[in-house]
Amino acid sequence: MEKWPFKFKLTAEERALEREIDAYVPVSKAKFDEIAKALARRKKEAVLHIRINQQDLDNLKKKAKRYGLRYQTFISEFLHRLAA
């Protein structure tokens, strides 16, 4: 599988989380609420209908497949990162 094309700068805490991804660690109510809010911000609430060139769509689908993603998820994530 191809590497994700975007560069991410992870904090030390995020790097530690990546290393311990399989370990379950209980968290406080405050931390749980913080995580829940972060997930809620990523919730997709809007529907977008857009017309694009068929060749562009085919290329996006191929690229999404290389990353092991559905093309709509790939496009949504790309737009999220672009808008941030």
Q: Chunked in runs of 10, what are the mean pLDDT values of the chain (84 residues)?
A: 64 82 84 89 83 97 92 90 84
| The predicted structure's pLDDT at residue 8 | 67
| The predicted structure's pLDDT at residue 49 | 92
CB 21 within 8 A of CB 10: no
CB 51 within 8 A of CB 40: no
| The predicted structure's pLDDT at residue 6 | 65
| The predicted structure's pLDDT at residue 1 | 45
> How do the domains of the chain map onto residue ranges?
53-84
CA pair distance 10, 19, nearest whole angstrom: 12
CA pair distance 41, 54, nearest whole angstrom: 31
| The predicted structure's pLDDT at residue 55 | 97
CB 13 within 8 A of CB 25: no
